[in-house]
């Protein structure tokens, strides 16, 4: 309860409440103020995304992430079609 109002959380659920988490990025001169991106970004995308923002090459070893730097800077960007999420032991664990 917050101020007498029931707030429904969902951090442990595989729905929008659990997997869609806002991220705020501020970088004057690189990211235009007021930019909003509603594309899917996976946690594994942060390493290639940060490297892309710094114009550094990705590691020589294979990584599963995809740079989202273009989505923030307004440059060429092909969004993900899906992200991987896993529901593990917790309050909403479903057993088969």
- Residues 7-52: pLDDT tens digits? 666 666 666 666 777 788 888 988 888 888 888 888 899 999 999 8
Q: What pTM does this model have?
A: 0.68
For residues 6 and 57, what is the distance between their CA atoms, to the nearest angstrom?
47
For residues 31 and 69, what is the distance between their CA atoms, to the nearest angstrom?
9
> In degrees rounded to 5, what are phi and psi of residue 7?
-105, 120
For residues 19 and 87, what is the distance between their CA atoms, to the nearest angstrom?
10
Cα radius of gyration rounded to whole Å, the chain:
17
pLDDT of amino acid 79: 87
For residues 76 and 93, what is the distance between their CA atoms, to the nearest angstrom?
39
pLDDT band at 96 (very low <50, low <70, confident <90, very high): very low
Residue corresponding to tokens 């960007």: 77
Measured over the CA atoms of residue 30, residue 32, residue 35 and residue 38, the dihedral's sign is: negative
How do residues 44-94 score in pLDDT, each as one tens digit? 999 999 998 888 998 899 988 999 999 888 888 888 888 877 666 655 555
């Amino acid at each position: 309860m917050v101020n007498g109002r029931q707030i429904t959380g969902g951090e442990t659920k595989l729905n929008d409440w659990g997997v869609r988490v806002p991220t705020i990025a501020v970088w004057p001169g690189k990211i235009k103020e007021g930019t909003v991106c509603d594309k899917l970004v996976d946690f594994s995308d942060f390493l290639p995304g940060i490297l892309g923002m710094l114009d550094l090459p990705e590691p020589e070893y294979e990584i599963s992430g995809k740079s989202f730097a273009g989505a923030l800077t307004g440059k060429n960007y092909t969004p993900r079609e899906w992200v991987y999420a896993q529901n593990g032991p917790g309050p909403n664990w479903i057993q088969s």
